[in-house]
Structures are given as structure tokens and as C-alpha cells.
């Protein structure tokens, strides 16, 4: 009679953790930073149809890295929970903290009870009335939840990305400056021979939670609006300046706006 296979609980948890971390590390990075008017999300994403960053509720947004179908399931579940709570009680009762706790319980249960853990890492962010009220929560595959004060980084090569953001980030940046910090950090890894990359607007997905907007604070930034905000080395090639005597309607810009991410 053959002996049944046995592995200690510690070994099983270790194997699941390693499996999940490898899956997350294969994903492209996401940088979330606070700026003067809210929270900025920047994700390296060449797809115009599959979003890494999405709205959850009026002032709450979600970002994910790892296996798309898994963090998309979490996003949809978060929207349903937020809508149910807002409808049953009050819209002010829907908070990022409550959603983060619900996600933590779900991820923790999946990690301990299912054979395969989710290969995801997610962020739940809420914009407040002032910078001191902004909230960023990072949730790992095992349900671990961390409250980040000013910025967070997820995805592959997270240590290098975090080091670069820490080096260049300062609280209270304007949107253009914060975007430059995030894009420079994403481009600092993955280049040939360790050289930094230049990420055009068509390769990144950008969204904000803007406290200056009324009601719905979430807004995507894409196309010419994104190109205009990016530093020259990351945007589309700058057009030659038109002669001073050329009428504005005769000036041409041959750039094709990048697709929305």
C-alpha cells in the first residue's frame, strides 16, 4: 500500500507564495502617486482595451497587476460591493478602507483554501477633500494590506521602481511633475544593457482621482492631452515650430493621437 503524499503546511504556503510572486513579477509595473490635486495612476500598458486602472466609485479607484482575468474579477466584485453599500446606506459610507478590508478577506481566503492563489497585486485609492485625506492601500496575493502614505509601486522589478520613485518624489507635486516622476520610474527598468527607456503615450495608461472635479473624481488622460503633459523625451516627437508669420490654421501637426489606454 503506497503512502499518501504529505507536505507540511509551512511548505505549502511557501510554494503558493513563490508561485504567486513569480506570476506578479511577469507583469508590467504600475506607479500610484499623490499630487497636489489628487491621486495619479500610471501603468505600463500597450493595450487600448484592457485597462489596469479603473473607477470603483465616486472618489475611489482601483489598479491591478498580474493575471488580468483575476484582478478583473476583483474589480467587478468591488464595484458591486460599493454600489450595494451606497444604495443600502449612504454614498459617503463607501470608503477605500472598507473595500480594502473586503479585498483582503477575499484574497486571504483564496490563498489559504484554494489550491491555486490569485497571481495579483492590487491598489485601492481614495481621494479626500485635502491632500492629508488621500488614502492608498496595497493588497498582496495573500490578503496582506498595507497603507501607503504618498506613493506605491506594483508589478515586476518593484524594488528598482520603488527606489527610483523614492529618489525623485516630493509631496505636493503638480500633475505634470508627478507624471514625469512616474513615467521616469517605469522607464528606468527593462532597457537594453540597463539603460532607461523612453515610454511614449501609446505605451502607458494614465488616470487621476481629481479632487477639483464635482461628484465623479475619476478621469482618464489619453491622446493629445497625455502627450502634452509628458516630458519631450517620453511624448511624441516635437514638431518644428511654425514661422512667426504663418497663420495658425496653416500649421500642421502630422502626429496621430495614440490610442486610449
Q: What is the pLDDT of residue 157?
A: 85
Tell me the pLDDT tens digit for each residue of 32-65. Answer: 999 999 999 999 988 878 999 999 999 999 999 9
Distances (CA, A) of 54 to 38, 40, 63, 111, 159: 15, 12, 6, 24, 24
In tens, the pLDDT along 144-163 reads 999 999 999 998 789 999 99
β-bridge partners, 31 = 42, 153
Question: d(Cα 100, Cα 83) in Å, to the nearest integer?
Answer: 15
Q: What percentage of the chain carries pLDDT values higher than 70? A: 87
pLDDT of residue 164: 93
Tell me, what DSSP letter sits at residue 258?
P
Residue 146, beta-bridge partner list:
138
Radius of gyration, alpha carbons of the chain? 21
Q: H helices within 94-213, ranges in order?
A: 96-113, 158-168, 175-187
Backbone angles phi, psi at 208, to 5 degrees: -135, 155
Round to the nearest angstrom and report the end-to-end CA distance of the chain: 58
**Region for 215 from its dihedrals, namely left if φ exceeds 0, alpha if ψ lies in -120 to 50, beta otherwise:** left
List, in order of start, the domains of the chain with CATH numbers: 9-236 (3.60.20.10)
Positive or negative, the CA dihedral 237, 63, 25, 119 is negative
User: In angstroms, what CA-CA distances link 55 with 19, 32, 51, 239?
Assistant: 29, 14, 10, 34
What predicted TM-score, i.e. pTM, was given to this entire model?
A: 0.84
Amino acid at each position: 500500500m503506497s503512502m499518501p503524499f504529505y507536505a507540511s503546511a509551512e511548505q505549502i504556503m511557501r510554494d503558493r507564495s513563490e508561485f504567486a510572486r513569480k506570476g506578479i513579477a511577469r507583469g508590467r509595473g504600475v506607479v500610484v502617486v499623490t499630487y497636489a490635486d489628487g491621486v495619479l495612476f500610471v501603468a505600463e500598458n500597450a493595450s487600448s482595451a484592457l485597462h489596469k486602472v479603473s473607477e470603483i466609485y465616486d472618489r475611489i479607484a482601483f489598479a491591478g497587476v498580474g493575471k488580468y482575468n483575476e484582478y478583473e474579477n476583483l474589480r467587478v466584485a468591488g464595484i458591486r460591493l460599493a454600489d450595494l453599500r451606497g444604495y443600502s446606506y449612504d454614498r459617503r459610507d463607501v470608503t477605500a478602507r472598507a473595500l480594502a478590508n473586503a479585498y483582503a478577506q477575499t484574497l486571504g481566503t483564496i490563498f489559504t483554501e484554494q489550491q491555486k492563489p490569485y497571481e495579483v497585486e492590487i491598489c485601492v485609492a481614495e481621494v479626500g477633500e485635502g491632500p492629508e485625506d488621500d488614502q492608498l492601500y496595497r493588497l498582496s496575493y495573500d490578503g496582506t494590506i498595507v497603507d501607503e502614505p504618498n506613493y506605491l509601486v506594483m508589478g515586476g522589478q518593484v524594488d528598482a521602481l520603488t527606489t527610483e520613485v523614492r529618489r525623485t518624489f516630493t509631496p505636493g507635486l503638480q500633475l505634470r511633475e508627478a507624471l514625469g516622476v512616474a513615467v521616469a520610474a517605469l522607464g528606468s527598468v527593462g532597457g537594453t544593457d540597463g539603460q532607461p527607456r523612453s515610454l511614449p503615450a501609446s505605451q502607458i495608461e494614465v488616470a487621476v482621482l481629481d479632487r477639483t472635479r464635482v461628484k465623479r473624481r475619476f478621469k482618464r488622460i489619453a491622446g493629445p492631452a497625455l502627450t502634452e503633459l509628458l516630458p519631450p523625451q517620453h511624448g511624441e516627437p516635437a514638431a518644428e515650430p511654425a514661422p512667426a508669420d504663418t497663420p495658425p490654421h496653416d500649421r500642421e501637426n502630422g502626429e496621430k493621437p495614440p490610442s486610449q489606454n
